[in-house]
C-alpha cells in the first residue's frame, strides 16, 4: 500500500516537475499562470492535464491546436512515479521517507534543468537545504538518533568544502551550482552513514568520468568539452544512498577489515 501511494504521489509530483523544469530556468512563476499549450497558449483543461493518461488519450497532440506534445511530459511523470515507488520500497515506512522522496523529486528536476541549460538553479537548491534539515531533523527526533543528525551536518559541510576547493582549483571545469548541490547531497548521504557518503562521492566522479570518456570515444566532444556535471553527481549520490553500505563493507572485506 505504501509503495502504491508513493507511486500515485509521484505521478502528481512529476506533473508539477514538468512545470518547474520549463519555467524555473526562465525565471517564471511555477504557480501562475496555469498550464497552457506551448504552441498556442490556450489554457489546458483539467481533463487534459491528468498525468500520463491525458497524453495517451490525446495521442500526443494538443486538443486546442493539434500541436505535438513532447513525450518528455509523460516520461517525467512516469519516471517520478517509479522513483517514488522505488524509494518507498527501499526505505519502507520510516520517518526519513519524506526527506528522500523530496530528494528524488529535486534530483529529477535538477538533472533535467542541468542537461537543458547547464545550470543548477539557486532557487531550487538553496531552499532544499532548509527542507532537508527539517525533514531529516524530524526523522532523527522520531528515531531518537541524534548521531544521524550530526552525521548529516558533518557530511553536508565536508562535501560542500571538498567541492568548493575543487571549484577554486579549476573554476572553468566546475560551476558553483555543483558546490551547492554537493552540500545538499552530503546532508542525505551523511544521515545514512559514512560509507554512503564516501561511496556516493566516489561514484559521482566515476559516472561523470565514464560519460566523459564515452563522449570522446563517440566523437561528440574532446577533453575541454563542457558537460553538465549535476546529473552525474546525483546518479553517484543515489548509488551511494542505496548501495553505499554493502559496497563499503565489500571494500573493507578485501583488506580483511
Q: Are 209 and 151 in contact (CB under 8 A)?
A: no
Mean residue pLDDT across the chain:
91
Alpha-helical segments (H) within 69-96 = 72-91
Q: Does 105 score more than 80 pLDDT?
A: yes
Q: pLDDT value at position 20? A: 96
CA 194 to chain centre: 21
Nearest CA to 186 among 112, 117, 133?
Answer: 133
Q: What is the pLDDT of residue 171?
A: 67
Q: pTM (2 decimals)?
A: 0.92
Confidence of residue 53 (pLDDT cuts 50, 70, 90): very high
Amino acid at each position: 500500500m505504501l509503495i502504491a501511494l508513493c507511486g500515485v504521489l509521484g505521478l502528481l509530483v512529476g506533473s508539477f516537475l514538468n512545470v518547474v523544469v520549463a519555467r524555473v530556468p526562465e525565471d517564471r512563476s511555477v504557480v501562475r499562470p496555469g498550464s497552457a499549450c506551448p504552441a498556442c497558449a490556450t489554457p489546458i483543461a483539467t481533463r487534459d492535464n491528468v498525468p500520463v493518461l491525458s497524453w495517451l488519450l490525446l495521442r500526443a497532440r494538443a486538443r486546442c491546436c493539434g500541436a505535438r506534445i513532447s513525450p518528455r511530459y509523460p516520461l517525467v511523470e512516469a519516471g517520478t512515479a517509479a522513483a517514488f515507488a522505488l524509494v518507498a520500497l527501499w526505505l519502507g515506512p520510516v520517518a526519513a521517507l519524506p526527506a528522500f522522496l523530496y530528494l528524488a523529486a529535486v534530483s529529477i528536476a535538477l538533472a533535467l534543468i542541468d542537461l537543458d541549460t547547464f545550470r543548477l538553479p539557486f532557487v531550487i537548491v538553496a531552499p532544499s537545504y532548509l527542507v532537508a534539515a527539517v525533514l531529516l531533523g524530524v526523522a532523527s527526533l522520531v528515531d531518537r538518533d541524534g548521531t544521524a543528525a550530526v552525521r548529516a551536518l558533518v557530511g553536508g559541510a565536508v562535501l560542500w568544502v571538498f567541492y568548493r576547493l575543487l571549484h577554486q582549483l579549476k573554476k572553468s571545469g566546475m560551476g558553483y551550482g555543483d558546490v551547492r548541490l554537493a552540500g545538499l547531497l552530503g546532508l542525505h548521504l551523511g544521515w545514512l552513514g559514512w560509507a554512503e557518503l564516501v561511496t556516493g562521492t566516489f561514484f559521482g566522479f566515476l559516472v561523470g568520468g565514464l560519460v566523459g570518456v564515452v563522449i570522446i570515444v563517440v566523437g561528440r566532444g574532446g577533453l575541454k568539452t563542457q558537460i553538465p556535471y549535476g546529473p552525474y553527481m546525483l546518479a553517484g549520490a543515489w548509488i551511494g544512498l542505496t548501495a553505499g553500505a554493502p559496497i563499503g563493507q565489500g571494500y573493507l572485506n578485501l583488506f580483511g577489515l
